[in-house]
Chains A and B, each alone.
Chain A
Amino acid sequence: MKTKKLLFVTKFEELGFDALKSLLGLRLAGLEHVVFVNVIERDRVAMRRGTGYNKKEEIRLRETANIRFIQWAENLFEQGLEVGVYIVVGNLVSEVIKAAQKEESDLIVIGRSQKGVLKQLYAGSDVTELLHRTATPVLVYKYMSEYSFALEKPFERPLLAIDWSPASLKAVDYLKGLAKIVREINVIHVASEKEISGSSAMDVQKTRKAKRRKLDAICDVFESEGIETRAHVYIGDPKHELEKAARECQATIIVMGSSGKTGWVERWLGSTPRHIAEKSVYPTLLIPPEKKK
């Protein structure tokens, strides 16, 4: 799986050119084309009583975005990359999906959801909605968010979370495609307390060993690509354990399959991928299972 074309979705506040530059290491993994997407939310220019459609504001927002993108594009063109731009008025998720389909992009890069808690509860977060509606991998990029330093090589040391779902196994393939820019992968499975509640210490160790063996098989796949890999089994709530493991392994990014839950269930009950994407300090690459493209 090659990452030839990436869609860089930005509102400028959360993801700037420095964030994009930190992703250009993907060129070694085949990146040739960057497409900028800026969606002007409808309510910023919408019809209002007495004033009508705010065309002036639309032009102002479009041109502000355009001027920034031109500067970014000049920089990328000079490095021999292809660049495209979409500046559109509409719903963020729908417009991103449309652009991803038109461009047949291999990766969507987006910042963390900016909606408030209540809005997220009723309307869902942009990231969750995007993941449910696209078959393209999504990188929720938190460039410099809570780090005291900027990430220079986000793909250098991924923490790959495996739960044996089709999406998490697809993530293995995706990371294989990045072999040229990955230095070390820590593969982790988080077992629940229930899974290891055996009657004796021996039973618990047996379960751990079995999980570890399965992870070793995945490590072999990466080792055959020349990537140093380590397997880990953690016990507990994946939402917390993954964050802990990422810290302990000095990971630069968390990679995992996206949830198979429906949007409604996920909105109300939550899911590990959603939690990590929105709460973790680490950039999160979410790989959806095979579905309609």
Chain B
Amino acid sequence: MGKKVLVVDDDPDVRLFNVTVLEEHGYTPLVATNGEEGKNLARQEKPDLVILDVLMPRESGIRLYRELKTDRTLKHIPVIMLSGIAEKSFLRSQKVLAEFGDKEVPEPEAYLEKPVEAEELAATIQKVLG
């Protein structure tokens, strides 16, 4: 069985695209449709990698990213952010939240802006997972 990769995205087309790329490259995809579901699945399955969208209903990827990176048991899991939101905005938001008293968190292992080509996604996953 290949390494487990958790995909958290509310867009069914993006989920399908990610799952196809992952399966083609021998990974085992796990799928969540929002931040809450993603958090529960991450705790349950302890994936080797998380591919995370930012703009989602219920709980955004910004919140989930912080939760992953401040959870003792999950913070070692690398995260690839995959979003239409610009990387600069994501990083600024993390800075602002830290200024408001939240914990500082490290930057994600990779940041890809949507839409992404299959080869670019596969190469990034490979690079992050070593």
CA distance A154 to B71 in the complex (A): 40
Q: Which of A169-211 contact B (CB under 8 A)?
A: none
In the complex, which residues of chain A have a beta carbon less than 8 angstroms from the beta carbon of B92? 77-78
Are B58 and A77 interface neighbours, CB within 8 A? Answer: no
In the complex, which residues of chain A have a beta carbon less than 8 angstroms from the beta carbon of B84? 66, 70
Tell me, rounded to whole Å, the shortest Cβ–Cβ distance linking A101 to chain B.
Answer: 12
Are B90 and A77 interface neighbours, CB within 8 A? Answer: yes
CB of A74 closer than 8 Å to a CB of B: yes
Are B96 and A84 interface neighbours, CB within 8 A? Answer: no
Are B58 and A78 interface neighbours, CB within 8 A? Answer: no
In the complex, which residues of chain A have a beta carbon less than 8 angstroms from the beta carbon of B90? 77
Are A77 and B89 interface neighbours, CB within 8 A? Answer: yes
Q: Which of A74, A84, A86 contacts B89 (CB 8 A)?
A: A74
In the complex, which residues of chain A have a beta carbon less than 8 angstroms from the beta carbon of B54? 73, 77
Contact pattern, B 43-74, Cβ under 8 Å of A = 1, otherwise 0:
00000000000111111101100000000000
Q: Which of A67-90 contact B (CB under 8 A)?
A: 69-70, 73-75, 77-80, 82-86
Nearest residue (CB) in B for A81 is B93
CB of B85 closer than 8 Å to a CB of A: yes
Nearest residue (CB) in B for A62 is B11
CA distance A35 to B57 in the complex (A): 8
In the complex, which residues of chain A have a beta carbon less than 8 angstroms from the beta carbon of B58? 84, 102-103
Nearest residue (CB) in B for A67 is B84
CA distance A85 to B9 in the complex (A): 12
Instruction: Give the bracket for the number of chain A residues in contact with chain B.
Output: 10 to 19
Instruction: Give the bracket for the number of chain B residues in contact with chain A.
Output: 20 to 34
Contact pattern, B 29-46, Cβ under 8 Å of A = 1, otherwise 0:
000000000000000000
Contact pattern, B 101-114, Cβ under 8 Å of A = 1, otherwise 0:
00000000000000
Are A80 and B96 interface neighbours, CB within 8 A? Answer: yes
Tell me, rounded to whole Å, the shortest Cβ–Cβ distance linking A28 to chain B.
Answer: 13
Are A82 and B62 interface neighbours, CB within 8 A? Answer: yes
CA distance A34 to B59 in the complex (A): 11
Are B85 and A84 interface neighbours, CB within 8 A? Answer: no
Given contacts A70-B55, A74-B85, contact A80 B60 (CB under 8 A): no
Given contacts A70-B84, A77-B92, A77-B93, contact A82 B63 (CB under 8 A): yes
Tell me, rounded to whole Å, the shortest Cβ–Cβ distance linking A200 to chain B.
Answer: 62
CA distance A69 to B89 in the complex (A): 14
In the complex, which residues of chain A have a beta carbon less than 8 angstroms from the beta carbon of B56? 84-85
Are B100 and A84 interface neighbours, CB within 8 A? Answer: no
Tell me, rounded to whole Å, the shortest Cβ–Cβ distance linking B101 to chain A.
Answer: 10
Are A102 and B62 interface neighbours, CB within 8 A? Answer: no
4 interchain residue pairs of minimum CB distance: A74-B89, A80-B96, A77-B93, A78-B92
Chain A residues in the interface with B (C-beta under 8 A): 35, 66, 69-70, 73-75, 77-80, 82-86, 99, 102-103
Given contacts A73-B55, A80-B97, A86-B57, 10 further A-B contacts (CB under 8 A): A70-B55, A73-B85, A74-B85, A77-B92, A77-B93, A78-B93, A79-B96, A82-B60, A99-B57, A102-B58
